[in-house]
Amino acid sequence: MTTTNSELRENARQTGHWLNGRLGTATMADTIAAILADHHFAEGDTRLVCGDLGGYVQAEQMSARDLLEPLMAAGSIDAVERDGRLVFRSRLLQAGPPVRLDTLAEVKDAALLEDLRGDAGDFAREAILDHLDPMNDYGRTTARSRRAAPGNERLLRLSLAGALHEAAATDAVEAALRDHQAGRRRVSFALSPSAIGPVPGDVATFEQGPAGTFLIERIDDGDVRRVEARGIVTGGASRFVPETRTPTVGHSAASAFSPLVHLMDLPRYTDGEASGFARAAVFARPWTAVTLSASPTREGFAARLSLARPARTGTLAEALGPGVSGRFDRANSLVLDLLAGELTALSDLALFGGENRMAVLSRNGAWEILGFGLADEIAPGRWRLSRLLRGLGGSTDAQAAGAAAGAAIVMLDAAVQPLGLSSAEAGQALNWIVEAQGRPAGAAQTYAFAGGLRAETPLAPVHIRARRDAGGNLTLRWIRCARASADAWLDGETPLDEPVEAYRIEILSGTQVLRRGEATAAEFAYPLAQEIADFGSRQSRLSVRVRQRGQVVALGLAAEVLLAV
């Protein structure tokens, strides 16, 4: 096999020449030492700091503390005083074994050891690290952790004016989230005054006590040494993974940004104004915050919204068949390939409360809203979702159509935001562009989109039934569905979310419409004489289609049934 000079240069760019290591890339330790030296602080020790850093930006005059704190937060680095020197060390890299505490001091009227765990709702379950990407002309981008256990939507946000390769940034943000979660656990105890070995900054374990590793944060000396410590996670430093992307240089960085964009006209699946359900989901790797701008023409684009988080999106790995609504669809499961992130299982209570909502692009072009209670990763990035709630938000037409393999899916979380349409813009075609923030403007792709109508579309009525009287005349009755506040029933009736109540009723023979009528209440009279005129005889089965009329969207979704009469 022949290796060209260009291949050798490319290999050296990624992994470093054997003589000079990473070709000038600094380390966290070097950067901290340089900051200390620039501020004339000689008593610092950074030998126990691990991690790479491709550069650090000081945009203005700053104190050493202001420069060091973001570095230490992003790198999970502690600073402790040892023999008059300030020692920096990575929490994940311990130079020696932890201090083993085998004897605790008893304090009158106090527990020997208090082991407290903070409320899960007070701690983030996901972390984001904002940093500079050396592979994208040092533009700002974000690394995102995997999600911890289901819970709130709190985010741990870290910002670093430093250059990190993708693998290093991913390692850092994952470590930061693990450390943040470990900090939920706090212990307090007392030591004998003669136990002078442990000092703040030490990592400790218990001979007889709670399992785990703890960082001593505070010691108050008195008749006993009162100690406070927090849980930490420890482990070896991550191994450097060579970068496989090709760097972009100069103004080419803008053209290199190629996001995946979903502009979605969604039904009103939760509370909110109808105009707020025209929403955007954007994904890019590496991620950087984006701005979406709109114009009725191809110039004069005005910014409408910014997205700080990438959407969890992907495609169906297998077709999703039609299902049932109003109860769990146990016959179907949903198999998808997720571009990034994770999915989690939920209790039925959380599922009924509105969590784990997903949009699936169906065969009829509409988005089905569904919920899932069970999520299993069956291969890297491939998930099987089950315990499905289908056709939510009145998306029963999309649920009945099913979805093909390769169809888009989007998790409906805080990363998906309203486009900011006004009520006058509902249904109006606008041109949209998506631009990376903090990068030179380039020739952005234009997306044509008209939204805001689906949330104004009346839903299909339900429970259509027919009753024939003694004279053979039929009366059709049904129950209307509401797009908003459907659970706030007054006097046993579904709320009316249109100014007036009106319906179109069609009597069918196969696909042919034999008779069309209108009604101003949820019932329709179909005399026997009309039935004989339409069919030639009295029928034992009748095919009926009913649609509610609306103010913004003239005719709503159709409910079509075959009734025994």
The CA radius of gyration of the chain, in Å to the nearest whole number, is 31
pLDDT at 303 over 60: yes
pLDDT of residue 254: 47
Bridge partner list, 325? 390
- Average pLDDT for 162-168: 85
| Spatial CA neighbour of 341 closest among 439, 414, 434 | 414
**CB-count exposure of residue 305 (10 Å: 0-12, 13-18, 19+):** middle
pLDDT of residue 403: 93
Q: Is 150 helix (H, G, I), strand (E, B) or coil?
A: coil
Please tell me the pTM assigned to this model.
0.59
pLDDT at 376 over 80: yes
* Confidence band of 138 (pLDDT split at 50, 70, 90): confident
pLDDT in tens, 255-266: 457 889 999 999
pLDDT of residue 93: 62
Q: How far apart are CA 477 and CA 452, in angstroms?
A: 30
| Spatial CA neighbour of 458 closest among 428, 501, 505, 422 | 501
pLDDT at 1 over 50: no
pLDDT of residue 47: 86
Using an 8 Å Cβ cutoff, are 280 and 430 in contact? no
Counting residues of the chain whose pLDDT is more than 90, the rounded percentage is: 41
How many CA atoms are closer than 13 Å to the CA of 482, on its beta-carbon side? 18
- Average pLDDT for 395-408: 92
pLDDT in tens, 461-501: 999 999 999 999 999 999 998 886 655 555 557 778 888 99
Hey, what's the torsion of the CAs at 486, 489, 493, 497, to 10 degrees?
-40
Using an 8 Å Cβ cutoff, are 48 and 93 in contact? yes
Using an 8 Å Cβ cutoff, are 284 and 471 in contact? no
pLDDT in tens, 179-214: 888 888 999 999 999 988 888 888 888 888 788 889
In the block, which residue shows the tokens 């996670």? 233
Give all strands (DSSP E) within 380-511, no chain letters: 382-392, 408-411, 417-418, 430-436, 446-449, 462-468, 474-479, 503-509
- Average pLDDT for 152-168: 82
Q: How far apart are CA 151 and CA 186, in angstroms?
A: 20
pLDDT of residue 475: 96
Check residues 63 and 1 and name the one with the higher pLDDT.
63
pLDDT in tens, 428-466: 889 999 998 876 666 678 888 989 999 999 999 999 999
pLDDT of residue 563: 94
pLDDT at 239 over 50: no
Encoded tokens for 564? 């025994």
pLDDT of residue 22: 38
Counting residues of the chain whose pLDDT is more than 70, the rounded percentage is: 87
What value does the mean pLDDT of the chain take? Answer: 84
Most confident among 86-95, 207-216, 227-236, 306-315 (mean pLDDT): 306-315
pLDDT of residue 445: 82
pLDDT of residue 63: 86
Q: How far apart are CA 366 and CA 357, in angstroms?
A: 16
